[in-house]
Amino acid sequence: MPDVRITIDGKEVSVPAGSTVLEAAESIGIEIPTLCHHPAVEPIGACRMCLVEIEKQRTLQPACTFPVSDGMVVHTHSEKVIKARRFVLQLLFSERNHFCMYCQMSGSCELQDLAYEYGLDHWTYERPFPKLPVDASREYFIMDHNRCILCRRCIRACDELVGNKTLGIKNRGTNSMIIADLDVPFGESSCVSCGTCLQVCPTGALADRASAYMGAEDEIERVKSRCMACSVGCGVELIVRENRVIRIEGDWDAEPNSGLLCEIGRFHPLHEQRQRVYEPLIRGEDGLQKVDWEDALGLAAEKIREADDDLVSVVSGFASTEAAEAVINQLPGQKVTMEGPAPDVQSAPLSTLDEADLFIVIDADLTVNYQVAGFAIKRGFRHRGARLVVIDDEENGLDPWASEKLSLEEAEEVLDRAEDAEHPVVLCDVEGLELAQSLSKEISDSDLVVFAPAGNTLGLKEAGIESAFAESEKASVYYVLADEAPEMGDALSQALSEAEFVIVQASFQEPWDDVADVILPSPITSEKSGTMVNTEGRVEQIVAAVDKSLPDEVEVIEKIGNRIRAASASAGE
């Protein structure tokens, strides 16, 4: 389409036809205030803050939805416009409970920012003080309807970005209320607690339990890093105050998640209940006891040196690529991954999910693991009419979205369904890889998305640790680089309990305190720096946001290595 020439505040600009007045203004650096508008979702013109004067238009028009046309003349800050915006703010403040002095959002609130900008020093209209409920039925964040301005950002984020469409609105006018499903408590609804609505809410209506009243925008720092909880490797913004992470948000600029996170990435690190390890522990007569670093490193090095090749190093996908390299370079014996083998095929980029018209999900539940990729499937289903076939012998969280469910035995039947698909994508993790590969080969033009079993499994592979623990031979001494790993699995648990000596480098005591003879403290993801490789093969930076004065995981492994070499040298080996 040809470009359209319009004039905004006396400045001429040429923009593509179909652009909105807001986009045109932004392209030449003219600021128009917005409130319900959010760049990640479709504009709907709900709040009227972006009203502008357009010549030959009878009334003021919302810039966020109004399309440009040739020769249009726009005034964004005329007296009439400013007066209208003040009026809109007056109405917004008068409607519900918008008293900043006891709101946790004060200082970070977009409504408040606009009131300051427009010099609102009092309210003109009588306040109705409606008696509205607070819904605290969800674990991680609450919905205070009193603070809601009905901008519908949450509804659009839930629908357009997450594809879950839990949120909606009931009633009309001043009686309008945000509801979940058919007006059930949020905690009993189809909500998946991904927190995307929380991240886009401009006021204090959605409040994070962990970070409420913990720091306003000018008191915090935002550090971009990565989530290592699964191999999607989402970009995060760690919200930090006084050397503490108070909240985690999705990084809008990061691929592959574009601002989205799941419950695990956004909330679990801040609601971790396990006991942190800040000092080295050695098993004595009364169980694990605190010792100093020298003793712990000395004992670990001695046991590893004695074991030599009778050692298995088990490395978790929470470890950075650099830590995995250190294990390879410093320690003897076999090296294996904790969570499973690295897939031996290259996955298609996750962005292909937003082009697919047929998803074939094999033996993986994307509502439990790799959830952000699962959101892409729901988006595709809702907004592009994409079909979904789930091939799984067990119940799968995506079943309600599936147009068809096949058992693994019936998998071949999917080939018929794929015939008329223009862009089929087959998704699997390492368990379903063999089947996925054979199906993908037979479906023309199909992409294969493979999820590595843990956050940095591909980084471990790059460092040289490829095979899974299950393939290792039994040893008498184990070194486990666990970091934040939440569980060890039955086989590893069995092997560790039968081993003579177990050294664990972990951030938390559980689940290692029953099996470990030495626990060496390790930083959690927000405390360390390094790289990880996500399931697409994307190399991503882990950036330390806080400093808990713990030695880096690499440093600890190198110190052990140095001790082993020094001991060997003095023994004349």
Partner 1 sequence: MAKVTVCTDWLDICSGCHMSLLDIDERLVQLLEHIQLLSSPITDLKHPPKEGCDIGILTGAVSNDHQLAVAEEMRERCKILIALGDCAVFGGICAMRNFFDVEDVLKRVYVETESTAPDQKVPQSPEIAKLLPRVKAINEVVDVDLHVPGCPPTADGIWFVLTEFLEGRMPVIPEELLTYD
Interacting residues toward partner 1 by CB under 8 A: 97, 99-103, 106-107, 112, 115-117, 119, 121-123, 126-127, 129, 131, 146
| Smallest distance from partner 1 to CB 143, Å | 16
**Whether the Cβ atoms of residue 314 and residue 442 lie closer than 8 Å to each other:** no
Q: Angle CA(171)–CA(176)–CA(182) in degrees, nearest 5?
A: 55
DSSP code string of 130-195: ----EE--SSSEEEEGGG-----HHHHIIIIISS---EEEESSGGG-EEEETTTB-GGGSS-----
Q: Is 218 exposed, middle or buried (0-12, 13-18, 19+ CB in 10 A)?
A: exposed
Return the number of the residue (56 or 131) whose C-beta is nearest partner 1: 131
**Whether the Cβ atoms of residue 326 and residue 554 lie closer than 8 Å to each other:** yes
Return the number of the residue (116 or 278) whose C-beta is nearest partner 1: 116
**Whether the Cβ atoms of residue 93 and residue 185 lie closer than 8 Å to each other:** no
**Whether the Cβ atoms of residue 512 and residue 519 lie closer than 8 Å to each other:** yes
Return the number of the residue (101 or 569) whose C-beta is nearest partner 1: 101
| Smallest distance from partner 1 to CB 121, Å | 4
Give the SS3 label for residue 370.
Answer: coil
Q: Angle CA(281)–CA(285)–CA(286) in degrees, nearest 5?
A: 70
| Smallest distance from partner 1 to CB 35, Å | 16
Query: Minimal CA–CA distance to 217: which of 193, 238, 239?
Result: 239
**Whether the Cβ atoms of residue 233 and residue 540 lie closer than 8 Å to each other:** yes
| Smallest distance from partner 1 to CB 500, Å | 58
Return the number of the residue (97 or 196) whose C-beta is nearest partner 1: 97
Return the number of the residue (11 or 127) whose C-beta is nearest partner 1: 127
Return the number of the residue (20 or 97) whose C-beta is nearest partner 1: 97
Return the number of the residue (11 or 83) whose C-beta is nearest partner 1: 83
| Smallest distance from partner 1 to CB 185, Å | 20
Return the number of the residue (91 or 282) whose C-beta is nearest partner 1: 91
| Smallest distance from partner 1 to CB 62, Å | 24
**Whether the Cβ atoms of residue 209 and residue 140 lie closer than 8 Å to each other:** yes
Q: Which two tokens stand for residue 331?
A: 């320690």
Q: Is 497 exposed, middle or buried (0-12, 13-18, 19+ CB in 10 A)?
A: exposed
Return the number of the residue (115 or 468) whose C-beta is nearest partner 1: 115
Task: Please report, as a single letter, which amino acid is at residue 193.
Answer: S
| Smallest distance from partner 1 to CB 270, Å | 25
| Smallest distance from partner 1 to CB 17, Å | 37
| Smallest distance from partner 1 to CB 187, Å | 23
d(CA 218, CA 533): 33
Give the SS3 label for residue 34.
Answer: coil
